[in-house]
Structure 1
Amino acid sequence: VLNSEYASMLALEFDRNPIIDEEAGFDIFPPPTHPDQSSLPLRPPIVTIMGHVDHGKTTLLDTLRSASVAKGEAGGITQHIGAFSVPVTSSSDGRSMITFLDTPGHAAFSAMRARGATVTDIIVLVVAADDGLMPQTREVIELIKKEKDTHVVVAINKIDKPGVDAEKIKNALLGEGLTLEDFGGDIPAVEVSGLTGQGLPDLIETISAVAGMADLRAEQTGDVLGFVLESKMHKGLGPVATVLVLRGELKPATNIISGMTHGRVRQLTDSHGQVVKAAYPGMAVTVSGWKELPNAGDEVLQGSDTNIKKALNNRKRRQDMASMLEDAEAINLQRQA
């Protein structure tokens, strides 16, 4: 992207008279990345569970979610907010949580991928031991091959069923280009049962180990960068949205912008419905205080009230311009028909 100075010089080369309107070009962008990532604190890994329909993803997530309640606040009841965190008891590196996103088929993921944003650190590919590789399994494998920076753990589910053969699944995955650790590759496989809970501690430990090797770090101070996972109207709180924080610190009274809407953070709650004072990288929280519902997949950024109003005006103007151009294109196509 050219700044106004270089764009002006380019225009002058073509004997044009550039007119610079800094206000019209203003927007709010994510803060620049830290020059020394290794100096930043560790953050929890963000995990998405994927796989073929009926291979037990939902049961697996429900069992993991139940574990997060059992180990979390006493008497806590999980709220479906699009994500939840599971404590890691054996973590020796200071990373005490794993955040699971439980909306893998959600519009948010398509929207984030469309703009080149990858929020998932680890994909858990669930394959049913009694069913093998199916069309959606292969779709996930293709996605894994494209997501070069995303780590993978294979969960061979329904291992409690009699007569299942985990080795057959591992060989089939090898045939699809996923080389497991058993065959000298770097992808771990864990045999689990979402129904009985068998193997789930091993799965949590494996994810934690993969995250440790990935050395996931982020700024826990400064302006926030996050993404909307889902949004809804809440009786009493108005528009609320689940925000996954990637960088910075999100606190009450912070002015935030997301897509074509904005707000001032009124309250932050976690997946147990507990009010939290701040959200840090790797955490997903329900945020209230929005003027309108933000869209799933939109960036959440921090700014001053004045800058947010300027940015919103410019975003609205650009949106109107794009809509006008689309209408004009449609009219031209009709005329040509």
Structure 2
Amino acid sequence: MARSGAEKERKLELDETRIDSGIDSYKSISRDQYGSLETSDEKDKAVCGTDERLDSAYVSSSLTTESLEDLIGNCRISDSERNAVNATQCEYTEEEVSLLTTLTEDGDTILHLAIIHEEQGFAQQLMDLFPHELLDIQNNLYQTPLHLATYLNQSSIVKELLAKGVSLELQDQEGNTPLHVACEHGLYDCANEMVGVASSNKLAHVLETQNWRGLTCLHVATLHKHHRIMRLFMKKGVDLNVQEGTSGKSALHMAVELHDVDAVTLLLNKGANVDATMFNGCTALHLAVGRQDASIANLLCQAGADKMIRNLEDETALDLADGNDDILALFPFDDIQIMGRTVMNF
């Protein structure tokens, strides 16, 4: 009992000193002489006598081709067996099945590890070996193999996972689907694979999904100025006027805030509502004028923006012009105003 208590106390100390996690820290695993699972941390402690490992497995990998070969052992399958969808269709031992379904302390399967270490050949074999229901396992950060393959821009692995029917809808700890990840990092090939394989109904649902910051995939692509991905979504009929969940901004509002003329032009040309309002009643024109962006304000006016819409502060876009002559020139002087307030129309 004393030994058990000491081991438990030591484990707590190790948890407190661990500073790496998630996609930047994937532990390698190997088989010891008894066929049991051993983490790379345990190996390091045995060799170096230290309780803390500071290197990241993502940056400095101890997972090698040889160790992965040892893990899958005799579970290799021939090309004729690649379409097997159930692990029981392959002949391998109970120990090997256990290895294929064992999780590391970070919640990673061997497939997670093969992807993060960019061992794509082994990842392909593991996908053939894994039963379908195991391909969507989420690690401790709720990342599926599809999240990781997307993050690392492994479009061939993304394609293979999608062909095996993995979910596009699962969200990681930040609420991001794999498509959110592709939008954030501008990974067009991965996004194209996901958009291409999804049915219309499923894709519509994925495109409407908000992460924990209230952002849909279109919002994320707009914020990171990935215009090509925005066009991809537009071809698939994305709702251009969907509001993000915190302040009600549309993609057009975001593009205006970023002074992104190309995105504003793209959205307007594809039919975005130029007069869409945020929760506070502000239109894109309010934002453009408030930011003294005459060129974008001009684009909005040419697209038919209503200059007289008032926000919750009872302000029109003209009220925010603040003496900017370039912007004031966009507004017709066909009424009488006192202190910026319209008092009579003719």
TM-score by length of 2: 0.21
Higher relative contact order (CA 8 A, sep 6+): 1
* Bigger helix share: 2
Structure with bigger gyration radius: 2
